[in-house]
Amino acid sequence: MPNKKQISEFIGITPGFLRATNLANDWEKVDSSAGYIITPNVIQSLERISKGLTIKNGQKAFSLIGPYGSGKSAFAVFLCQLLGRDSERSKNATSLLSKANHPSLNKTQVKRVKKEGHGYLPIAITARRRPISQLLLDGILKAAFLLDLTKSTNHLISRIQEALEKKFWKDSGTIIQFLLEIKKEAVFQRFSGLFLMIDEAGKTLEYALQDKNGGDVYIFQEIAELANRQQKNPILFLIILHQMFDDYVELSDRTIRNEWVKVQERFQSVQFAESAATTIRMIAKAIRHSKSLPKAVGDKISEELSTLKRKEAPLPLGLNFSSFEKLAKDAWPLHPTVLLAIPHLFRRLAQNERSIFSYLTSLEPYGFQEFSKRELTEEDHFVRLKDIYNYLLANFEVGLSRLPHAKRLLEANDIIHSKAQLTVDEVDLIRSVALLNVLGEMCPLGATNRLMASAASNINKIESKLDTLRSQSILTYRRLDGTYRVWEGSDVDIHARMKEARRKLQMEGKSLYETLSQHLPSRSMVARRNSLETGAHRYFKIVYSERINGNYNNLFKCLDGAAGLILVLLPQADYKAAQTKANQATASYDVVK
């Protein structure tokens, strides 16, 4: 190809995908929602929230739940601008929504949700590891400064500042009172109501588990109940989480779990996770083509797509091949098989769309930007599965080691570095197979002969080379599903089985203490050597314990002639507290911890 040019001369990344979103910092920026993509998931979430605001006695407390990096914060910024009163921000958000051409979310419906166009006063909070009530009062204070600074508003601001300084927020009633007061002031200034949003709410929930003073999640229940009672001038309450409430307390005792479940029941859960088809569309939109590709490159893309169609590669639900073909051309230089796999890979190994766009925009080794600096050649100008493997290992190897389902990537890496006789093609095949193995049962993409023929179409005699790797016991072939797998010695996922066993032990009602007491009752332990040497029969009493109530002296009263006590602290026990009480014990007995 004469006059060779870099791939980057033909492509770029759409500016709207270049940064992460912080709700508290970004909702006021006019361009924060520029380029925001209205996906089916966004439409569904908007419909549920708008319904709560428009029907009589509708739900007004919602928990938006989705995995890391799935776009929850960006959605909250968009929703805040859509429902807000600022004309420019609201106009831009409404325009984006109108382009989606959804009948139930047109301009008339948006105006109805906003109570004839007045808009809501936003209280936007990005949580951190601090008491919940303190964060709420701080957010109310910042929202008060958005109002016209009348005499009554200034008086309200002074009282909120005093409450923060004197820590009046420790009383949840203070928060409720200030919410009602700022709502009254907002309505007086012709706002439709309040829109209270808490992003990263999981951080403050985690804090609440550790700090019982000022960390009570009951305030969420109080606000949710308050919001659901407001009709004429609503309080819309939205918290954003990565998992359900009770998942944060999965390993806590049953009483705490039950309390948190009661709080969760006050919210209507809105699941927020994009489908693979939607993620593919977002990737294709993120890659911007600045000029037409050379004919040879276009022909090669069409050839790869024809191979993929001929090999009957499975497409995600919601995409036919005609639609995928257009998206794959827009997403060049990503190979079509990479485009199919990448939504699942980054969902399983990283943080969904956030990590995908980080890959596209960052200057990390083996990233998309580094690849785009290569010269455009006729031979191979695609980002292939092997390149994604290299990117993951180069940048996230330590993190991958903590993920049980990523072990095949690490095993493949060990194989590659331990067998110097492997050819470049064989190494690339191992990397591609390992990457497809990671997907496991979560999607229909597997390392079959058909898919490998497309994914590694730049390699000659693929089947022969795969057979060679099988003969060397590097790969195995599973007749059950017709896929190649990196040999690991066993198909049993020990880490997953252990995690499931821990979960069942915790959730099925019986504590570890009850289980041990039933199946392994404590027995006395005879001090055999001492008995033989001294002729005196001495034994120690064994006691299981999950917690220590009172002090050790109470235990010593029940020794019944035992020479000492062996206290077996179970994993749930507070070891430091037990050790302190042991040191304070006054009885002249030995305590073995």
Report the pLDDT value the prediction gives residue 490, as an integer from 0 to 100.
47
Mean pLDDT of 375-386: 85
Element (H, E) at 259: helix 254-264
Mean pLDDT of 180-205: 89
Total structural domains in the chain? 3
Least confident window among 116-125, 386-395, 421-430, 483-492: 483-492
Report the pLDDT value the prediction gives residue 558, as an integer from 0 to 100.
67
121-150 per-position pLDDT tens digit: 999 999 888 888 889 999 999 999 988 899
Residues 305 and 418 in one domain: yes
Token duo for residue 130: 């601090």
Least confident window among 141-145, 489-493, 506-510: 489-493
Strand partners, 236: 195
97 assigned to some structural domain: no
The enclosing domain of 191 has a CATH number of: 3.40.50
Distance CA 289, CA 316 (A): 24
Counting every residue, how long is the chain?
593
510-559 per-position pLDDT tens digit: 666 677 777 777 778 888 888 888 888 888 888 777 655 555 566 666 67
Range with top average pLDDT, 381-385, 539-543, 586-590: 381-385
Distances (CA, A) of 474 to 282, 412, 470: 36, 9, 6
519 assigned to some structural domain: yes
348 assigned to some structural domain: yes
149 assigned to some structural domain: yes
332 assigned to some structural domain: yes
Q: How confident is the model at residue 250 (pLDDT cuts 50, 70, 90)?
A: low
Neighbours of 530 (CB within 10 A): 14
Report the pLDDT value the prediction gives residue 533, as an integer from 0 to 100.
82
Residues 440 and 346 in one domain: yes
Residues 421 and 554 in one domain: no
Residues 193 and 266 in one domain: yes
Report the pLDDT value the prediction gives residue 552, as an integer from 0 to 100.
56
Residues 398 and 463 in one domain: yes
Residues 214 and 313 in one domain: no
Least confident window among 148-162, 532-546, 572-586: 572-586
Distance CA 341, CA 347 (A): 10
Mean pLDDT of 147-163: 91
> Looking at 219, 240, 271, which one is the last position of a domain?
271
262 assigned to some structural domain: yes
For residue 379, give the DSSP letter.
S
Between 104 and 445, whose confidence is greater?
445
Check: CB of residue 23 under 8 Å from CB of residue 124: yes
Report the pLDDT value the prediction gives residue 324, as an integer from 0 to 100.
92
Report the pLDDT value the prediction gives residue 214, as an integer from 0 to 100.
45
Range with top average pLDDT, 122-126, 405-409, 580-584: 122-126
179-191 per-position pLDDT tens digit: 999 999 998 988 8
Least confident window among 148-162, 206-220, 493-507: 493-507
Mean pLDDT of 268-293: 87
Report the pLDDT value the prediction gives residue 265, as an integer from 0 to 100.
85
% of the chain residues with pLDDT over 70:
84
Report the pLDDT value the prediction gives residue 420, as an integer from 0 to 100.
78
Does 268 have pLDDT greater than 60?
yes
42 assigned to some structural domain: no
Residues 139 and 237 in one domain: yes
Average pLDDT along the chain: 81
CA nearest neighbour of 244 among 267, 274, 226, 276:
267
Report the pLDDT value the prediction gives residue 441, as an integer from 0 to 100.
66
Determine the structural domain holding residue 414 and report its residue range. 287-486
Residues 179 and 325 in one domain: no
Least confident window among 47-56, 107-116, 384-393, 581-590: 581-590
Helix ranges (H only) for 116-236 are: 132-144, 151-165, 172-188, 201-210, 218-229
85 assigned to some structural domain: no
Handedness of CA 364, 368, 369, 374 (dihedral sign): positive
Residues 265 and 204 in one domain: yes
206 burial class (0-12, 13-18, 19+ CB within 10 angstroms)? middle
Report the pLDDT value the prediction gives residue 508, as an integer from 0 to 100.
58
Report the pLDDT value the prediction gives residue 172, as an integer from 0 to 100.
84
Least confident window among 84-93, 420-429, 453-462: 84-93
Residues 257 and 351 in one domain: no
Residues 378 and 519 in one domain: no
Residues 438 and 295 in one domain: yes
Does 454 have pLDDT greater than 80?
yes
End-to-end CA distance of the chain: 75
